[in-house]
Amino acid sequence: MPEPDLQPAPPPRSGRFLRLALIASLALNLLFLGLIAGSAFMGPQHRGAPSAGPDLRALWRALPDKSREEMRAQFREGRGTQRPADREAFHAEMAEREAEMLALLRAEEFDATAFVDLLDARRRMMDLRAEDAQSVFVSLLATLNPAERAAVADRYEARRERRSRHR
């Protein structure tokens, strides 16, 4: 009778599983290192750049409800420098600029000079509109008493502090 082979059986092949686990671990480690390095390198740029001045929208939101409604009414009634007809012309011109921008972007050859001119014209239009809003806003603030203006300052400051904590 033949003698049985008494050599131990080879261990199961776990090399493939181990190799896949090591590769996955390496990939995850590289991903996390990339995220950490990227955030360290780009850090402050992800947050909004500090503004050049006070945020008019934040100031407007800090107004008492009654004052905000009054400001809206002034714009609707055309008490600012921009009358309702001017607003319609403004919206029409903005739509025209938008169409020009899309045409420039879709053109076979990109005309960078025309695009920059278009952006400059749009910025000038927005600057004029912002100046109008600012003048109405300041005239409205002038009607508030010192306690109401201090309350606006307090609400504005509290909003800024909340926003800076979230960044």
The answer to whether position 131 is within a domain reads yes
Nearest residue to 56 via CA among 116, 158, 117, 136? 136
Pick 85 or 123 by higher pLDDT: 123
pLDDT higher than threshold 90 for residue 109: yes
> pLDDT at position 166, please?
67
Provide the mean pLDDT of the chain. Answer: 76
The answer to whether position 86 is within a domain reads yes
The answer to whether position 17 is within a domain reads no
Q: What is the pLDDT of residues 16-65, one digit of tens each?
A: 777 777 777 777 776 666 666 666 555 544 444 445 456 777 887 888 88
3-state class of 162 per DSSP? helix
> pLDDT at position 2, please?
64
Q: What is the pLDDT of residues 136-167, one digit of tens each?
A: 888 888 888 999 889 888 988 888 888 777 66
CA dihedral in degrees (60, 64, 66, 67; nearest 10)?
-40
Provide mean pLDDT across the span 100-127. Answer: 89
Structural domain total, the chain = 1
Residue where the block lists tokens 């025209």: 96
3-state class of 126 per DSSP? helix
Pick 27 or 114 by higher pLDDT: 114
Amino acid (1-letter code) at residue 67: S
Give the residue numbers spanning the domain of 73.
65-143
The answer to whether position 10 is within a domain reads no
The answer to whether position 36 is within a domain reads no
Of the chain, the percentage scoring pLDDT greater than 90 comes to 11
